[in-house]
Structure 1
C-alpha cells in the first residue's frame, strides 16, 4: 500500500468500516463464504461420480468453528447442514434456518 491507501476487504475500505461500526470488528466476505461452500460441494460431487456413489453430496458445517448467525444464515441459503455438539450450536443453526 502506498501513501494514503487503506487495506480493502471484499472491495470495502476497512478504515471506513471501523469508522462506521467501531472496533474491534469482525468482517466476513459473504461472496467468499458462498464461493468456498459451492467449491467444496462441486469438488465432492465430482468425487461422488468418480466412485459411483448414489446419494447426493451434503455438506455439514461445523458450527463450533464459527457460530455467527450471519455466517450460518449464508450457509443455510446455500443448503448446508450443521454439525453440532451442543444445545447452543443446535439452537444457533436452527435459528439461522438450518433444519435439524
Structure 2
C-alpha cells in the first residue's frame, strides 16, 4: 500500500540523514520494535533547525498508525524540502 511505501521511505530517509542507522534499532530487535511502534531518532536530537524539521517528518512517516502517515505529495510539500529562501520567507 502507499502507507507501507511511506513507512519504507521514512526508514530510508532516516538511514541517509543518520549516516547508516535504522530508526527501529539493530537487526536483532528491529522486527519487534517495528511491531511495537518503538523507534528512536537519536541522530536528530540536536536542536539544529534542519534536524528538528527532519525529525518531525520522519516520525510522521514511520508512525505505527498507517492511516496517519502523510501521502507522498504531502511529504514533498513538507518544509524540510523547501529552499532556504522559502523557509526564511515563511518565518518572516
Instruction: Give yes or no for TM over 0.5.
Output: no
Greater RCO between the two (CA within 8 Å, min separation 6)?
A: 2
Give 1 or 2: higher strand fraction: 1
| TM, length-normalised to structure 1 | 0.28
Larger Rg computed on CA atoms? 1
